[in-house]
Amino acid sequence: MNEEKTGADGAGDKLTADARLQRRHRAERRFRGVCIGALGLAGAFLVLFLGSMVVAALPAFTQTEVKVEVDFTNPDQAWRAIDPELNSIVSRGVTRVLPNRLENNPELAGKRFEEWVLAKAEIDQFRKGKGSLDEEVRERVERFEEAGRFRYTFNHWLFTEGDSKLPEMAGLKAAIVGSIYVLALTLAFAFPIGVLSAIYLEEFAPDNRFTQAVEININNLAAVPSILFGLLGLAIMINFFGVPRSSAIAGGLTLGLMTLPIVIISTRAALRAVPHSIREGALAMGATRWQTVRDHVLPMSLPGILTGTIIGLAQAMGETAPLLLIGMVAYIPDVPGSVTDAATVMPAQIYSWASMPQQAFVERTAAAILVLLTVLIALNATAVYLRRRFERRW
């Protein structure tokens, strides 16, 4: 515009200026198009990924049950209360606990009744049109099908059972509880230490070589590959402090170390965002540094601190690499009763299922991924909510 001059050849200048303006507008449209394209591509990948995951996972949410006769009339033969002929159809998870069941429910002795029980994963897969069965078994399945002795139910086992080698009984419960333990410990470890360190560095520490070195190191730690924290956890927590291998406490401390720099960095950023005038106002009224921080700076920076912490936790939740080294990626079907019990976490369980040979585990892996994604989305939504809810403007 500033090239537009008044004068004899003003019209010509105007023309070039118009042309230039149009060129600039075209460039802007092009740039905007490229940006939209990038966004669209990212969106398409996301939709493709989520879509294929949902399609793969859907069959895992239903599970075949079969109606069989349970015969406890001969209590000594409880192990064959369900006709062993049906072992090719009924889940081993049902038949192996028949004696225990009679023992725990003595009133069942002498009774004979019909019951819907869990069917084998092979049968379930066959009914869903996947995999093949032996001739003999297939004929029996077809007979049962005609007699209406199969039905689909919601696969509640996915949430009420721990890991299992029997795909039909494999569930996420132990892993979910394990993840909760580990995350709670990570939070309990990383949050107080992280926030206190950040407050000291930001509000109290003098600006000298030493604090600068600390700051650089913390920033570097946040970028260290997570597997190294696993090695650290193995060397320090397990081999030196004697924390039990595979336990939730070992996992929580290791992931806590990993999350610590993220908490420190986000807390410092949140503290720094509080305007200086607020500190100066408080100090001018005669408040001490501690009172200033406690009553004014911290409450104002809390949304930022919480957001950073939750994002750090979400990252810790999806982590498997460091846990591999401290023995948490393992077959652990029992729900941990305390922080020192062996525990596993959801991503570790997904990893284990992905390497199982049975086809039924393919859909269960996808279902487990969906559950994990749901939890992560919930965590991130909480972070957004907290920020909105407590945000203050000045």
Tell me the site size for other proteins, rule CB under 8 A.
Answer: 56
Beta strands in 79-231 (DSSP E): 112-118, 150-154
Nearer to other proteins, 13 or 83 (CB): 83
> CA-to-CA distance for 37 and 271, rounded, in angstroms?
37
Who contacts 259 (Cβ-Cβ below 8 Å, separation ≥6)?
186, 190, 194, 309, 312, 313, 315, 316
Residue 261 lies near other proteins (rule: CB under 8 A)? no
Q: Is 63 helix (H, G, I), strand (E, B) or coil?
A: strand
Contacting residue, 19, 35, 109, 188, with other proteins by CB under 8 A? 188
Residue 329 lies near other proteins (rule: CB under 8 A)? yes
Radius of gyration of the chain (CA): 31
Q: How far is the CB of 216 from other proteins (least distance, A)?
A: 26
Q: How far is the CB of 323 from other proteins (least distance, A)?
A: 11
Asked whether 244 and 340 are in contact (CB, 8 A), the reply is yes
HSE-CB for 357 with a 13 A CA cutoff: 0
Asked whether 64 and 150 are in contact (CB, 8 A), the reply is yes
Residue 138 lies near other proteins (rule: CB under 8 A)? no
Residue 331 lies near other proteins (rule: CB under 8 A)? yes
Q: Residue 104, Cα to own-chain centre: how many angstroms?
A: 36
Q: Is 242 helix (H, G, I), strand (E, B) or coil?
A: coil
Interface segment toward other proteins; rule CB under 8 A; list 15-23, 50-58, 142-150, 240-248? 240-248
Q: Per-residue x/- marks for other proteins, 275-294, CB under 8 A?
A: -------------------x
Residue 84 lies near other proteins (rule: CB under 8 A)? no
Contacting residue, 63, 155, 164, 259, with other proteins by CB under 8 A? 164
Query: 335 to 374, contacts with other proteins by CB under 8 A?
Result: 339-342, 352, 354-359
Q: CA-CA distances (angstroms) from residue 112 to 15, 87, 149, 205?
A: 98, 18, 17, 77
Interface segment toward other proteins; rule CB under 8 A; list 10-18, 26-34, 111-119, 192-200? 192-200
Asked whether 102 and 71 are in contact (CB, 8 A), the reply is no
> CA-to-CA distance for 183 and 191, rounded, in angstroms?
11
Query: 87 to 106, contacts with other proteins by CB under 8 A?
Result: 92-93, 96-97, 99-100
Q: How far is the CB of 298 from other proteins (least distance, A)?
A: 7
Residue 27: burial class (beta carbons within 10 Å; 0-12, 13-18, 19+): exposed
Nearer to other proteins, 149 or 245 (CB): 245
Residue 293: burial class (beta carbons within 10 Å; 0-12, 13-18, 19+): buried
Residue 26 lies near other proteins (rule: CB under 8 A)? no
Contacting residue, 89, 175, 243, 258, with other proteins by CB under 8 A? 243
Phi-psi region of 382 (alpha: psi -120 to 50; beta: other; left: phi over 0): alpha
Residue 334 lies near other proteins (rule: CB under 8 A)? yes
Residue 178 lies near other proteins (rule: CB under 8 A)? no
Residue 165 lies near other proteins (rule: CB under 8 A)? yes
The footprint of other proteins (CB under 8 A) covers: 92-93, 96-97, 99-100, 131-132, 162, 164-166, 184-185, 187-189, 191-193, 195-196, 241-247, 249, 252-253, 294-295, 298-299, 302, 327, 329-334, 339-342, 352, 354-359, 390
